[in-house]
Amino acid sequence: MLRSWAFVIAYWALNIVYGLLALGAAALPGRRPTTWVIGRYVRRMVWCMRTLAGIRLEVRGAQLRPEGAFLIAAKHQSWGDGFCMYAQFEDLAFVIGAHMENYPGVGLILRKLGCIIVDQAGGRASQRALMVEAAGVRAEGRRILIYPEGHLAPVGTRYPYRSGAFHMYRTFGLPVVPAATNLGLFWPGTEFRKRPGTAVLEFLEPIPPGLARGEFMSRLESAIEGRTAELVAEATGRPIAPAVLGEPPMEGAPA
- Quote the CA–CA distance of 150 and 161 in Å, as a whole number: 8
Global pTM value: 0.90
State the sign of the Cα–Cα–Cα–Cα dihedral 232, 236, 242, 248.
negative
- Quote the CA–CA distance of 197 and 194 in Å, as a whole number: 9
Question: Per-residue pLDDT for 6 more than 90?
Answer: yes
- Quote the CA–CA distance of 197 and 20 in Å, as a whole number: 31
The candidate with the shortest Cα–Cα distance to 22, out of 9, 7, 41, is: 41
| 31-35, 94-98, 131-135, 197-201, range with the lowest pLDDT | 131-135
Residue scoring higher pLDDT (112 or 119): 112
If you ran DSSP here, which 8-state letter would residue 68 be given? S
CA 134 to chain centre: 16
If you ran DSSP here, which 8-state letter would residue 175 be given? -
- Quote the CA–CA distance of 88 and 84 in Å, as a whole number: 7
Question: Per-residue pLDDT for 180 more than 70?
Answer: yes
Residues 117-127 have pLDDT tens digits of 776 555 666 66
pLDDT of residue 216: 98
Q: Domain ranges for the chain, please list them.
A: 55-245
- Quote the CA–CA distance of 208 and 80 in Å, as a whole number: 28
pLDDT of residue 127: 66
CA dist list (Å): 251 to 48, 97, 217, 247: 30, 9, 22, 12
User: Could you tell me the pLDDT band of residue 70, with boundaries at 50, 70 and 90?
Assistant: very high
Fold of the domain built from segment(s) 55-245: Glycerol-3-phosphate (1)-acyltransferase (3.40.1130)
The candidate with the shortest Cα–Cα distance to 184, out of 137, 247, 254, is: 254
Q: ∠ at Cα 80 (126, 162), nearest 5°? A: 30
- Quote the CA–CA distance of 110 and 26 in Å, as a whole number: 9
Average pLDDT over residues 209-219: 97
**Residue 153, phi-psi category: left (phi > 0), alpha (psi -120 to 50), beta (remainder):** beta
Residues 7-24 have pLDDT tens digits of 999 999 999 999 999 999
